[in-house]
Amino acid sequence: MTERFEHPARPDKLFSLPYAHWYAACLFLDAGHPAAVVLRLLGINAEGWRACNERYAQLHFADTDWVASAYRRDGLQAPEHDLGLFEHLTANGPTAQPIAQPFSMRHELAALRRIVEANPHIGPFADVAWIAQYLGERRMPTIRYVHDGVHVRVDGAPICDRKGIPLAGIDPLSFRQLGERWFRDDKRVYGQRETQTTLFWFVALNADPDSFKVLNERYAADKAAGYYITNLRLPTEDPGTFEVMGYDYGHGPTSRFHIERSDYARDSRKVYAFGVTIEGADPSTFQAIGDEGLYFADKDSIYFKNQPIPEADRASFTCASEAGQYLAYDKDRPYWAGKAQSISAAFERWRTYFEVRPELDGTWWHREKARQDAGQTETLEPRPLGGPFFSDGQRVLIRPRRPDDGEWVSLDHFDYASFRPIVDVFGQDRHGLRYFLPGLEAYGQEPVKGGDAASFEAIAEGWFKDNRQAYYLDSAAPMPTLAVVKADRKSFEVLGGGYARDAKGLIVEGKRKRDIADPGAVTALGHTFARMGQVLLYRGKPVVRPGKVDGGTARGVHDEVLIDASGHMLIGGRYRKPVPGLDPATFRFLNRRFAVDNDHVYALTDDALLVCHEVDRASISTDGGYAVRDRHARFHVSGSSVYRTPLAEDQGSTSNL
């Protein structure tokens, strides 16, 4: 039903430009014509343009909830059915066909844009000699392509490669859009890539423009190969069989077949995920299972995204998004994001799922329930196997870092019969070198690829090696990960903290750094900090502005804090002046967020070190990894502030320090 709304603010104030004139100005700006001249002809200044441009651009998506919400925040009606606003916007410009019923702002303005794209020389731009030829656009986010007779442009600039260099040799007159992110001219095919901050374009490798066919936003094919949007060419041994694989996504009313942005494809010989071959996958039987587009299967194996799940039982594997995101199970164990979970840790989370499905039986959950019902959890204290590993006679057990995870976590993905501890969190079973991550004990890790359990040994805190490679694992990190690096065994040495080197160069936290001028001059100053001559390093990168920090007396007291003898600091890679009253000689951290010296308590926020005058230094104690308490209150950090919560016996309310 068509509606006319009365706006709380006058439309001529908030919508001062005819929509067609605004859009013509957009095309001329996209073609690189001077903004000052375009806006002067339009009769608006830069501030006024910024104010209306976002509101007008949102009308591309007038029928969406997010646009309706944005308009309501400005005190406006949702625009999709606002015929009065449409009539105001189009009162002084070219009109499209008669308005269809029921009225749709999005549909009518799209038709109007097609008219302007065919000839933007309207209204104040009727007599300009500029060229702004519309070529096409990507819908979301909106990326509009125009040419000025010389260059193909986006947002006023020629389309460029990843280094910001304009692509040479493009013929703007024959350039056209084949799909949202695929283009061609008479000689070549082009694709559009992106990072979180940058758009860039590439020439598709050896692509044949005349046989090139877009399959979806990410895949395409010509007569000889498939193509992926990261500029990967995928030659096929069987031309004509390359195709995108879609999958059902969501269940119930939201279910839909997902293909336009699918990252999966196949030909008669191979399966591809994200443009890379999934080794060993059978294309004829490869298919999505479940409704999240994450788990896949062929006749023999189960995959999460593009990685096989080695121990998954194909016959009984079941996706279970009803139980939670990324969850699945087979008869032997539960999985999260393709990784085996601890049965003991997952049991209660899965209880509701299985209890409302009494027809299911014979799984890991039912066996664990029977074991618990039989009282087998009330056995003698597990016996030590060595290091952090224990046994209850049936499973490998460990004590979790977080008390909320229970007293014990079972490592059910380890083969109990063949397991033996090696050192620290590492062990061996019949599958190879195994490990768990402190704090993430409930999530199984695959056997270490290429690891040699027989020669595996610890060489320094956090550092390990075997006859094939070196390893780094910071067990104290909030989210520890295992890094594996190919290192030269004869020259490999640990410098301290996360720093090591070999004849090939510097290695930091298990990752090789290629741009270090003099690795031989590097001296570790703590976990993440080091000195190379007069240059300070943070996580292996030179600190650009170290301020007055004296590298000769500096020491790393936290993985984010370096302090010298005078109190000058780096927090991450940023310089901070001395905190008044802080004693560098006795300064130390109690946990991730709080530190002390002989006289004061300090809190590390996201960007500063603050003195906590309200904390009683004499009675302070840690409360987990991120908070402290004294005899009156508990203190924790959130963002850039410290918060005080009185203890039960103390009166008061939570306050911001």
pLDDT at 7: 46
Determine, yes or no, domain membership for 616.
yes
- The answer to whether the beta carbons of residues 176 and 184 sit under 8 Å apart is yes
User: What's the pLDDT at 10?
Assistant: 53
Query: Which of 498, 448, 508, 500 is closest to 476 using CA atoms?
Result: 498
> Which whole number is the average pLDDT over 528-548?
95
User: Residue 371: pLDDT above 90?
Assistant: no
> At residue 650, does pLDDT exceed 90?
no
What are the strands of the beta sheet with 493-496, ordered from one edge?
A: 493-496, 499-502, 505-508, 511-513
Angle, helix 19-30 to helix 35-42, in steps of 10 degrees: 170
- Choosing from 110, 127, 144, the residue where a domain stops is 127
Q: Is residue 635 part of a domain?
A: yes
pLDDT tops 80 at residue 459: yes
Q: Which two tokens stand for residue 49?
A: 């343009």
Mean pLDDT of 546-574: 96
In this prediction, residue 376 has a pLDDT band, given cuts at 50, 70 and 90, of low
Question: What's the Cα-to-Cα distance from 581 to each of 461, 475, 547, 584, 612, rounded to whole Å?
Answer: 33, 33, 20, 9, 12
| pLDDT value of residue 139 | 84
Task: Label residue 95 by pLDDT band (50, 70, 90).
Answer: low
Structure-token pair, residue 245: 């694989």
Backbone φ/ψ region at 436: left (φ over 0), alpha (ψ -120 to 50), beta: beta
Please, which residues have CB within 8 angstroms of residue 163's CB and are 6 or more apart in sequence? none
* pLDDT at 97 (0 to 100): 66
pLDDT surpassing 60 at residue 210: yes
- Binned at pLDDT 50, 70 and 90, residue 2 comes out as very low
Q: Rounded to whole angstroms, how far apart are CA atoms 511 and 493?
A: 14
Q: In what order do the strands lie in the sheet with 483-485?
A: 457-460, 463-465, 470-472, 483-485
Domain termination residue (choose one: 82, 105, 127): 127
**Residue scoring higher pLDDT (563 or 247):** 563
Name the residue with higher pLDDT: 380 or 369: 369
Q: Would residue 72 count as lying in a domain?
A: yes
**Residue 652 confidence (pLDDT) above 80:** no
Give the C-alpha distances (Å, rounded to integers) separating 182 from 161, 189, 219, 375, 427. Answer: 15, 7, 9, 63, 49
Question: Of 139-143, 397-401, 451-455, 574-578, which gets the smallest average pLDDT?
Answer: 139-143
Give domain status of residue 261, yes or no: no
Span 600-613, average pLDDT: 93
| Sheet arrangement for strand 307-308 | 287-289, 295-297, 302-304, 307-308
Number of compact structural domains in the chain = 2
Query: What distance in Å separates the CA atoms of residue 497 and residue 284, rounded to the nearest whole number?
Result: 50
pLDDT at 373: 87
Q: How many CB atoms lie within 10 A of CB 344?
A: 25
Model confidence over 493-523: pLDDT tens digits?
A: 999 999 999 999 999 999 999 889 899 999 9
* pLDDT for res 542: 95
- Judged against a pLDDT cut of 50, whether residue 613 lies above it is answered with yes
Domain assignment of residue 120, yes or no: yes
Alpha carbons 531 and 62: distance in angstroms, whole number: 56
pLDDT of residue 606: 86
What is the distance between the alpha carbons of residues 401 and 403, in angstroms, rounded to a whole number?
6
Looking at residue 604, what is its pLDDT?
96
Predicted confidence band of residue 525 (pLDDT cuts 50, 70, 90)? very high
For residue 3, pLDDT over 60 is answered with no
Alpha helical stretches, state H, 273-321: none
pLDDT of residue 625: 87
CB-CB contact of 383 with 391 (8 Å):
yes
Tokens of 492: 């490999």
- Which range, of 84-93, 182-191, 230-239, 426-435, averages the lowest pLDDT? 84-93
Mean pLDDT over the full length of the chain: 91
Assess contact for 282 and 299: CB atoms under 8 A. yes
Whether the pTM exceeds 0.85: the reply is no
Q: Give the C-alpha separation, 560 to 479, whole Å.
A: 15
Report d(CA 505, CA 495) in Å as an integer: 12
In this prediction, residues 103-113 reach a mean pLDDT of 94
Domain that holds residue 115: 11-127
Helix axes 19-30, 46-57, angle to 10 degrees: 110
Question: Rounded to whole angstroms, how far apart are CA atoms 30 and 130?
Answer: 12
Calculate the alpha carbon distances from 587 to 592, 594, 599, 603, 640 in Å. 14, 11, 10, 12, 21
Kindly state whether residue 210 falls inside one of the protein's structural domains: no
Can you give the pLDDT at residue 379? 53
**Looking at the domain assignment, is residue 240 inside a domain?**
no
For residue 106, is it within any domain?
A: yes
479 is written with which tokens? 């989210």
Q: Is the pLDDT of residue 254 over 70?
A: no
Residues 6+ apart with CB under 8 A from 318: 328, 329, 330
SS3 content of the chain, % helix, strand, coil (to 5): 15, 30, 50
pLDDT of 155: 94
Please tell me what DSSP assigns to residue 68: H
Q: Which amino acid is at 471?
A: Y
Query: Considering only 167-176, 370-379, 580-589, 620-629, which range has the smallest mean pLDDT?
Result: 370-379
Q: Final residue of a domain: which of 81, 101, 127?
A: 127
